[in-house]
C-alpha cells in the first residue's frame, strides 16, 4: 500500500497549495473548494486548481478539477476510528496496487493516493466536470444497464481470478477487514432499525440474533470461485459516463466468491419482476464477459449452486 511518513491533511482547512503541489508534481498557485461533502463515510472535497505555470501544467496533462476523498471530517472518523481508517487506506491500496493491473475495468483517473496511520487519501477526477452522473439506489435499472454493469465486474474478477494468497499483499487477503466491517453494522441496529420514528419491526429480530446469524454466515463461507471483489457494488456506488455504468468506492475490496458481487449488484438494481425473468441471461452475460476478458470459462450449471448461496 502507498504508505507515507508525510503528514496528511485531516480537515479541509489543512489543504494547502504547497501540499497540492507536492502530490500533483506541479506547482499550484491557488485553489478553491467548489463543493464539500463532509457528512458521509468518506469526505469528498471538490477543488479547482490554478497552476503557477498553466501552459506547463496543461502540457503535462495535469488536472484542474479534482476530488479529494478521505477522512476530512474528524467527527465522523472519531465515531468508528478503526473502521474508517481501514476503509480509507483500503481504497488507497486499490488505486495503488490493484487498479494498474486491471485492463478491462473503466474507472476514475487517480492522480495520487497515499495513507498513514491517521488518514488515507485518493485524488480523483471530478466527475461533475466530465458530465458524469451518479447512480441512485432508489432508482431501478434496466436489464441492459445491469448487463453492462456485470461486464465491469467480470473485468475486475478476470484480472485477479485464481490469484493465491501468496501472490497478493497481506492487507488484501486479511478476512478480518470485510468481516469486521460488516459486523460493525450490527452495532447500529438500535439506531437504524428500531430507533425512534422507525416502522415497526418484529421484536425477535433483535441485534443479538442478527449478529449471531451474521457471524455464523461469515464462518460458513467456503467459496469455490474466488477472486478479488468490489465488495459493495450497489447502485449507489456507481456512476455513468455517456450512459455506461461504472463502479466507484473501492473501500471493501477483498477476496471472496465472484458471485457475491454479481448477486449483490443485480438484486439491488433490478425490479423483482425483471430479476426473475432475466437473471439467467444476466448471469450468462457475466460468464461470457469473464471468459472474454481472460478469466475461466464456465457453464451456468457449473456456477448455479454457489450463485444461489450468494442471493
Cβ-contact 182, 218 below 8 angstroms: yes
Can you tell me whether residue 9 is helix, strand or coil? coil
pLDDT recorded at residue 17: 98
Model confidence pLDDT, tens digit, residues 275-311: 999 999 999 999 999 999 999 999 999 999 999 888 7
Show the cell assigned to 263.
448477486
CATH fold match for the domains 12-130 and 133-310: no
Task: Give me the residue spans of the domains in the chain.
Answer: 12-130, 133-310
According to CATH, what is the number of the domain 133-310?
3.90.1200
Residues 6+ apart with CB under 8 A from 86: 177, 181
Show the cell assigned to 139.
432508482
pLDDT (mean) for 56-71: 98
Task: Report domain 12-130's class.
Answer: alpha beta
Query: Is the pLDDT at 1 greater than 60, yes or no?
Result: no
Residues 6+ apart with CB under 8 A from 245: 135, 141, 145, 148, 149, 152, 238, 239
DSSP state of 3: B
Can you tell me whether residue 46 is helix, strand or coil? strand
Amino acid at each position: 500500500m502507498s504508505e507515507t511518513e508525510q503528514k496528511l491533511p485531516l480537515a479541509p482547512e489543512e489543504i494547502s497549495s504547497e501540499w497540492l503541489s507536492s502530490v500533483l508534481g506541479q506547482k499550484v498557485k491557488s485553489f478553491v473548494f467548489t463543493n464539500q461533502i463532509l457528512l458521509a463515510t468518506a469526505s469528498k472535497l471538490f477543488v479547482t486548481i490554478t497552476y503557477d505555470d498553466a501552459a506547463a501544467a496543461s502540457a503535462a496533462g495535469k488536472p484542474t478539477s479534482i476530488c479529494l476523498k478521505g477522512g476530512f471530517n474528524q467527527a465522523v472518523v472519531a465515531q468508528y476510528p478503526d473502521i474508517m481508517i481501514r476503509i480509507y487506506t483500503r481504497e488507497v491500496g486499490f488505486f495503488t496496487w490493484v487498479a494498474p493491473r486491471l485492463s478491462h475495468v473503466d474507472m476514475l483517473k487517480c492522480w495520487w493516493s497515499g495513507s498513514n496511520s491517521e488518514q488515507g487519501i485518493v485524488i480523483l477526477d471530478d466527475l461533475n466536470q466530465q458530465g458524469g452522473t451518479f447512480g441512485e439506489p432508489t432508482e431501478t435499472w434496466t436489464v441492459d444497464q445491469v448487463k453492462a454493469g456485470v461486464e465491469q465486474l467480470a473485468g475486475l474478477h478476470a484480472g485477479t481470478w485464481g490469484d493465491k494468497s501468496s501472490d497478493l499483499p497481506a492487507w488484501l487477503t486479511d478476512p478480518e477487514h470485510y468481516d469486521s466491517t460488516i459486523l460493525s453494522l450490527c452495532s447500529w441496529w438500535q439506531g437504524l432499525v428500531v430507533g425512534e420514528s422507525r416502522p415497526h419491526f418484529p421484536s425477535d429480530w433483535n441485534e443479538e440474533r442478527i449478529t449471531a446469524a451474521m457471524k455464523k454466515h461469515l464462518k460458513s463461507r467456503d467459496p469455490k470461485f474466488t477472486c478479488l471483489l468490489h465488495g459493495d457494488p450497489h447502485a449507489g456506488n456507481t456512476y455513468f459516463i455517456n450512459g455506461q455504468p461504472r463502479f466507484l468506492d473501492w473501500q471493501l475490496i477483498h477476496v471472496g466468491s465472484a458471485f457475491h458481487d454479481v448477486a449483490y449488484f443485480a438484486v439491488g438494481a433490478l425490479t423483482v419482476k425483471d430479476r426473475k425473468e432475466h437473471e439467467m441471461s444476466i448471469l450468462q452475460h457475466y460468464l461470457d464477459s469473464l471468459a472474454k476478458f481472460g478469466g475461466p470459462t464456465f457453464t451456468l450449471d457449473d456456477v448455479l449452486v454457489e450463485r444461489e448461496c450468494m442471493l
